[in-house]
A and B are shown apart, each in its own frame.
Chain A
């Protein structure tokens, strides 16, 4: 993608370690977590935030008291009041949406320097009073006389204590009533993915993530989270805490399926974790980035969004990758590394089969030949969401960041960041190496 002949690039990027929900960032909110990531990015790049054209923040579940959490993050990160900010939502791809929206805005000539950030604090997803309870409080508030108040109070029922759980309802597709894990089960059955395959895949994800952490591969993209306050205060985090160093296939094999008992394939162990995290990227043009003294990480070659069957939302990456490859004029064989979000091990394995299937390509993608092999040795080289966690709003930006760094780390020309999206969509971004 270019703007006036100038390539659109990821000028710089940074992410916080991803934490399992309820652990390190349990006391955070999206506004603070996102701001701390953005602040660090400004400090490292020396960019004056006043030069930003706009701030785009992807977040699936903004705190109810920060409806436009993007603006909150911008102001808290020291972006001047004059710079506008918005929050974008496309479920699990919200962070990627921030990146592609910035790229589109640059291409359209609206600006040339954007902060694209993804953030999610799933720890903070609330329990909500159910409808009966809400109506009860309404009656109580409306009651004027003592008698009316007493009458309203007497209408209290124990069932009103049963809360609605935002995270479960948020992860359930309202159009078909399927919770995300069940869409993974549908793919496992359709593509014949066994429990054993899924557990092996998950174990490998942990192993790769451990290597990436220990070899300092992640140090390229990660800033430790060290909250202010006395030493040893809860909430400091040096690396992604979901990586299990001693994960074995046997241990995973003992877990019970979570969504479809007793024969399902998806367990807590071979699915992505519920997590908190944030990732920030500066999106600009190549010329502008160099002017600001930055060495861009990668150029955005193409991106694509696509829709598919909500009950098979896990196949989203296949559709969107096909589109993005076509736009880029590339084939899978040109791609040196793929970051394909690991919602469920079974879902990744189903995608792999669909990528390689001629039948699928003909029926679903309108292509004569199969899309191409999604080689295990090139896919999620540094582990994926099964080990690192999946803070829904942040993941899209994290995938772009990791895929951008992988160009140099693996010494390759192109990388692909793609993910499936609840509700039946896929997103894909193809990144291109910039020679210095």
Chain B
């Protein structure tokens, strides 16, 4: 991954220290997101770079059959993309490059996975807050296993920052849970509790936090059989049916306009992306996603909303 010119956090650690690689048994490898410079893992440039390096090694090792991606502990995975970097970037081209480089890492992971045509069964074993980029990372895997706990929250809240999910979220979520549900999730920016996420199909399986790793390993090695979800006939009748798409687009548009009075451009762009997702090849969709999200990132709306986000976090910390 080429990180030349991409914004690095001030205290960025040396390469190779953000992701730990662990081989609990033959044929299985675990990637643990554990950046030393963050109390909560953030998918910032150093972490993505290290993640990418781990994939180099995994690609070379032909003995591997399973991969588990997890956090420091069963109730902390990652809190998403680097919001400071999003708030700081003012150049459209740089913004697009930032998005594309993240997409590239996730796409590489996806191509290694069974559902992407690769040889690895990839399981995202997540828990605690799994918002935005963290959720998109999980979406690039074959299976998502979530800690069944009150602290678990998963979803794509990007619209609340004036952007939309740009690391494949608008493309992969509709493929996974269908167009109508994905539209609702992305436009509302809602974070789902464990049971709701399971019901929605956003995650494939729940397990108590204490059992998260054990079950993830069982899934990745195939000791427990669980197939990635497929939309089946619904894909034809709903997700790729022009009439259904037109109806969903119209309804969503109406709803967004009623709520935003047209002041926020991101949800409207998100509708376009999600509507087209299931009828477009993934690579083309990702390219469009990055191209359209870049102007939103540098937009003043986003800068204001990022500021608002920081203030509200500070306020929460005081409470």
Contacts and interface: CB of A to CB of B under 8 A. Distances in A.
Nearest to B218: A263
10 contacts: A185-B208, A189-B208, A189-B210, A189-B211, A192-B210, A260-B208, A263-B207, A263-B208, A263-B211, A263-B215
Interface in A156-185: 185
Interface in A186-231: 189, 192
DSSP class of A's interface residues: helix, strand, loop or mixed?
loop
Contacts of A189: 208, 210-211
A27 to B, nearest CB: 42
Interface string A138-166: 00000000000000000000000000000
Q: Would you list the 4 A-B pairs with minimal beta carbon distance, nearest first?
A: A189-B210, A263-B207, A263-B211, A189-B208
Chain A residues touching B, range:
under 10
Contacts of B215: 263
Chain B residues touching A, range:
under 10
A164 B163 CA distance: 50
B32 to A, nearest CB: 20
Nearest to B206: A263
A299 B208 CA distance: 46
Interface in B211-230: 211, 215
A185 B210 CA distance: 11
Contacts of B207: 263
Nearest to B205: A262
Contacts of A185: 208
B218 to A, nearest CB: 10
A315 B208 CA distance: 21
A155 B194 CA distance: 39
Contacts of A192: 210
Interface string B125-147: 00000000000000000000000
* A185, A192, A260, A263 — most chain B CB neighbours (10 Å): A263
Interface in B185-216: 207-208, 210-211, 215
A263 B215 CA distance: 8
Interface in A249-267: 260, 263
Nearest to A264: B208
A185 B148 CA distance: 14
Nearest to A265: B211
Contacts of B208: 185, 189, 260, 263
B277 to A, nearest CB: 31
B150 to A, nearest CB: 14
Given A189-B208, A260-B208, 4 more contacts: A189-B211, A192-B210, A263-B207, A263-B215
